[in-house]
Amino acid sequence: MHFEPALEQGRLLRRYKRFLADIETASGELLTIHCPNTGSMLNCMSEGARVWFSRSNDPKRKLPGTWEIGETPQGRLAVINTARANSLVEEALRGGLITELAGFSALKREVPYGQERSRIDFRLDYPYGAAFVEVKSVTLGYADSRVAAFPDARTERGAKHLRELATLARAGVRAVQLYCVNLTEIDAVRPAEEIDPVYAAALREAIGAGVEVLAYAAAISPQEVRLVRRLEVQLTA
């Protein structure tokens, strides 16, 4: 995924009201931009850190830009815009990078399914049937570890998605939880049980029901972001 037009660089002044961030651009311009991340962004930002943002010329927009990439307190790069995760995964699926899911004949996004009125991120059709793939963007890292964690805040929605996947798996339908690790210098992923033990328990239950769990790491730069390699999934800290 190439950024066109190119991202602009600035420094973070503060993030507030969840969806707003004040920044200072490289030229000294003070801007309030959109922060497209519903999580806590724990360990993912600090005042004065570098940020990269896309600028919009749409006169109907209230804010002039969108925060895309940030520098973490650990010196890593993180994709702040969680909406990018599904596009990254689709690009990797269509390019054959995610070998475990290769060979599909059709790909559909945001397909309604399940007993709890959910929408699956991807439905992939194969000669043997369909596979349902749920994507989560991972940005939580720790200074003394190359293991990322999910979630960065309690997520009832995330646990619901795991329940839906587990129901599919028990019925014999292929169900996959895919972690898109939008954080550099990471070798593995684990559930953040210290933040959301309910989610961690739901993940273990889903695996027991037959849900496949995959994690792929992104290479991140201000020019492009792309998935590059599979990571280990750990069930304990």
Q: What is the pLDDT of residues 155-209, one digit of tens each?
A: 999 999 999 999 999 999 999 999 999 999 999 999 999 999 999 999 999 999 9
Handedness of CA 98, 99, 101, 102 (dihedral sign): positive
All domains of the chain, ordered by start, with CATH?
A: 8-79 (2.40.50.580), 84-233 (3.40.1350.60)
Rounded distance, CA 223 to CA 205, Å? 39
Rounded distance, CA 150 to CA 92, Å? 21
Buried b (16+ CB within 10 A) or exposed e, 157-174: ebbbbbbbbbbbbeeeeb
Query: What distances in angstroms separate CA 178 from CA 74, 89, 159, 189, 229, one per listed residue?
Result: 25, 9, 14, 11, 13
Q: 152 pLDDT exceeds 70? A: yes
174-181 vs 212-220, strand pairing mode: parallel
Q: What is the pTM of this model?
A: 0.95
- Structure token digits, residue 5: 């037009």
Query: How far is Cα of residue 123 from the mean position of the Cα atoms in its chain?
Result: 18
Q: What's the average model confidence in pLDDT over 71-98?
A: 97
Which one has a higher pLDDT value, 56 or 28?
A: 28
- Structure token digits, residue 194: 């210290």
Taking the CA atoms of residue 47, residue 181, residue 158 and residue 213 in that order, the dihedral angle to the nearest 10 degrees is: -160
Rounded distance, CA 51 to CA 9, Å? 6
pLDDT band, very low/low/confident/very high, at 237 (cuts 50, 70, 90):
low
Rounded distance, CA 99 to CA 113, Å? 25
pLDDT band, very low/low/confident/very high, at 59 (cuts 50, 70, 90):
confident
Rounded distance, CA 13 to CA 49, Å? 8
Q: What's the DSSP call for residue 64? A: S
The enclosing H or E element of 219 equals: strand 212-220
pLDDT at res. 91: 98
- Cβ-based burial of 4 (10 A; exposed 0-12, middle 13-18, buried ≥19): exposed
- Residue 198 phi/psi, 5-degree rounding, is -65, -45
pLDDT at res. 34: 97
Average pLDDT, the chain: 96
The string of pLDDT tens digits covering residues 15-45 is 999 999 999 999 999 999 999 998 999 999 9
* Side chain identity, residue 150: F
pLDDT at res. 33: 97
